[in-house]
Amino acid sequence: MIEVKETTLHTLLDQAVNEAKYNHTTPLLSMTKKIDDFNPLLFFEAAEQLPMNRTFWSSTAEAFYIVGVGSAYDLADGADSIEQIERNWRKLVDESIIHNPYGTPGTGLLTIGGMSFDPTIRKSERWKKFSHQSFLIPALMLTKERDTCYVTFNIQVTEDDHPEQLAKRVKWMENRLFDHSGYIHGENGVESTADVAPEEWKETVKRATDYIKQDDADKIVLARELQVKLRDNAAITPILNNLIETQTNSYVFAFERDGDCFVGSSPERLVKQEKDVVLSTCLAGTAPRGETNKEDDRIGNTLLQDEKNRSEHDFVVRMIRQSMENYCLAVDVPDKPVLYPLKNLQHLYTPVTARLKEGYSIFDIVGKLHPTPALGGVPREKSLAFIRDHERLDRGWYGAPVGWLDSNSNGEFAVAIRSGLIQGDQASLFAGCGIVRDSDPEAEYEETKIKFLPMLSVLGG
């Protein structure tokens, strides 16, 4: 259904192959073109027939989507830090052949991925398919902004490649992914759920409050797990569809790795970059939504005045301001938070805007911000030490940054909360809460139950 400009594609492929032969290198060719409107969920669904990992990203409030298929390049190969990933990215951008006449954010050469919450701990069997850091350049990518769609091909070329054969491979993939019936297959249903050691978790909360009362920390974020047995192997596309429909003002994401899929819907932006302008979000302090407008207003006003939640929120605000000041100019922070409503929950919200200093990128800020006090605690090292010693959970990518960056200095990262790891007919859902001096273990346990709801509901629970 899409007409490829064969001369343009062949010209670029000839250029890439000739460069590979002349310099004895393997340049990456990235070509973007505008296409007719296409449903990104159908693109994601069609990609299931190919033996390639899929990636999905959506900012639901902005009707913005990125869907990646396969991998043309792995930035994390040989990298042991986000600083090394950034160096790899800069080198790749400098050496790639990029054809993108549009400049729309999320088009052209782009990397997308995530990382572990704590790369210092030994990886559990459950997360064995997810590297501590993984940022891929998709082999084929669909980008949709409102009603405008783009497709990007990324090909690493060698001196032994033939342009004609590469062009045929691109055309074959394109035909497979865009020639689709227009139907999202499958449905999901929950057979059973099981809390993982709830009483032990409450005891850990008590131990954390004792630790805090000794002035060893101000706040510790503890996470726990809910295991879900599904009636059949999970169908990922319907999960994404349900999250998009029900979780407005959120980032919906999915990262596949050899059959396992980390999927979720996070309301928490870590940082967004548009050229030299960056925006971070303080989202900490949680309450349920009311069943009526009057009840909703009452709960919201109580949240705004609640000492525990305001204190927790202020921790995050101060830390983000300090982190942004390392790499930015003109950091602007409102005096007080406002309410950020979601379908099941409402949060305290404060935006932080700034201008990025020359020579820095979104990766610098991600590395400095993670983990925020909303996912780790305060002070950072003491809270992380407590988590390593007492939390029986390998969080994997839960609570860590996930997102994307393009070669035109646009990008966005969210904190991977309201999420779960799906493995066949099993799902592990994760939720956490901030423990402070006066935290009540039973109340914190009930708060995590509320935070499981977005994922549990789209799984059919």
Residues 127 and 194 in one domain: no
Q: Which of 45, 256, 268, 391 is flagged as catalytic?
A: 268
Distance CA 103, CA 105 (A): 6
pLDDT in tens, 193-238: 999 999 999 999 999 999 999 988 999 999 999 999 999 999 999 9
The tokens describing 4, both together, are 């490829």
Query: What DSSP designation does 372 have?
Result: P
Binding-site residues from annotation: 312, 447
Closest CA to 67 of 4, 148, 151: 151
Residue position matching structure tokens 């000041």: 325
- Which of 143, 178, 213 corresponds to the end of one domain? 178
Residues 131 and 235 in one domain: no
Residues 92 and 215 in one domain: no
Residues 240 and 155 in one domain: no
Q: Annotate 56-89 with b (16+ C-beta within 10 A) or e (fewer).
A: bbbbbeeebbbbbbbbbbbbbeebeebeebbebb
Q: Look at residue 184 and tell me if it is in a domain.
A: no
pLDDT in tens, 424-437: 999 999 999 999 99
pLDDT at 6 > cutoff 70: no
Residues 200 and 312 in one domain: yes
Q: Where are the alpha helices (DSSP H) in 221-349?
A: 236-246, 293-305, 307-327
Distance CA 449, CA 254 (A): 22
Q: Which of 13-22, 116-125, 132-141, 342-351 has the highest mean pLDDT?
A: 132-141
Q: Is 286 helix (H, G, I), strand (E, B) or coil?
A: strand
Q: Annotate 402-413 with b (16+ C-beta within 10 A) or e (fewer).
A: bbbbbbbbbbbb
Residues 363 and 232 in one domain: yes
Residues 174 and 194 in one domain: no
Residues 283 and 394 in one domain: yes
Q: Look at residue 198 and tell me if it is in a domain.
A: yes
Cis upstream peptide for 379 (omega within 30°): yes
pLDDT mean over 138-148: 95
Q: Is 171 a catalytic residue?
A: no
Residues 200 and 172 in one domain: no
- Which of 124, 158, 178 corresponds to the end of one domain? 178
Q: What is the pLDDT of residue 186?
A: 78
Q: How many CA atoms lie within 13 A of 347 on its CB side?
A: 25
Q: How confident is the model at residue 182 (pLDDT cuts 50, 70, 90)?
A: low
Question: What Cα–Cα distance (Å) separates residue 362 from each residue in 73, 86, 210, 358?
Answer: 20, 9, 37, 12
Which of 95-104, 108-117, 338-347, 389-398 is predicted least confidently? 338-347
Residues 259 and 202 in one domain: yes
The answer to whether 222 and 435 have CB atoms below 8 angstroms apart is yes
Q: Look at residue 302 and tell me if it is in a domain.
A: yes
pLDDT at 181 > cutoff 70: no
In order, the DSSP letters of 168-223 are HHHHHHHHHHH---S-------EEEEEESSHHHHHHHHHHHHHHHHTTS-SEEEEE
| CATH code for position 319 | 3.60.120.10
Give the count of domains, the chain: 2
Q: What is the pLDDT of residue 412?
A: 97
Binding-site residues from annotation for Mg(2+): 312, 447
> Whole domain around residue 158: which residue ranges?
6-178
**Sign of the CA dihedral with 400 first, then 403, 404, and 409 last:** negative
- Which of 178, 208, 235 corresponds to the end of one domain? 178
Which residues lie across from 31 on neighbouring strands?
99, 153
Q: Is 333 helix (H, G, I), strand (E, B) or coil?
A: coil
Average pLDDT, the chain: 91
Which residues lie across from 356 on neighbouring strands?
328
pLDDT at 4 > cutoff 70: no
pLDDT in tens, 47-75: 998 889 999 999 998 999 999 999 999 99
Q: Look at residue 1 and tell me if it is in a domain.
A: no
Beta-sheet pairing, 277-288 with 269-274: antiparallel
pLDDT at 191 > cutoff 50: yes
**Sign of the CA dihedral with 369 first, then 373, 377, and 382 last:** positive
Distance CA 58, CA 37 (A): 16
Distance CA 31, CA 107 (A): 9
Length of the chain: 461
In order, the DSSP letters of 83-133 are HHHHHHHHHHHHHSEEE-SS--TT-SSEEEEEE-S-TTSPPPGGGTTS-SE
Q: Which of 129, 144, 219, 382 is flagged as catalytic?
A: 219
Q: How many CB atoms lie within 10 A of CB 293?
A: 8
pLDDT at 373 > cutoff 90: no
Q: What is the pLDDT of residue 2?
A: 35
Q: What is the pLDDT of residue 180?
A: 64
For residue 445, give the H/E element and its range: helix 441-458
pLDDT in tens, 322-355: 888 989 999 999 999 999 888 778 889 999 999 9
Longest dimension (CA), the chain: 71
Q: Is 45 a catalytic residue?
A: no
Q: Look at residue 417 and tell me if it is in a domain.
A: yes
pLDDT in tens, 145-173: 988 999 999 999 999 999 999 999 999 99
One-letter amino acid at 179 equals D
Distance CA 79, CA 77 (A): 6
Distance CA 264, CA 286 (A): 18
Residues 200 and 168 in one domain: no
Q: Look at residue 183 and tell me if it is in a domain.
A: no
Q: What is the pLDDT of residue 184?
A: 79
pLDDT mean over 4-16: 74
Closest CA to 366 of 318, 323, 398: 323
Residues 404 and 384 in one domain: yes
Cis upstream peptide for 337 (omega within 30°): no
Q: What is the pLDDT of residue 322?
A: 87
pLDDT at 3 > cutoff 70: no
Q: What is the pLDDT of residue 343?
A: 78
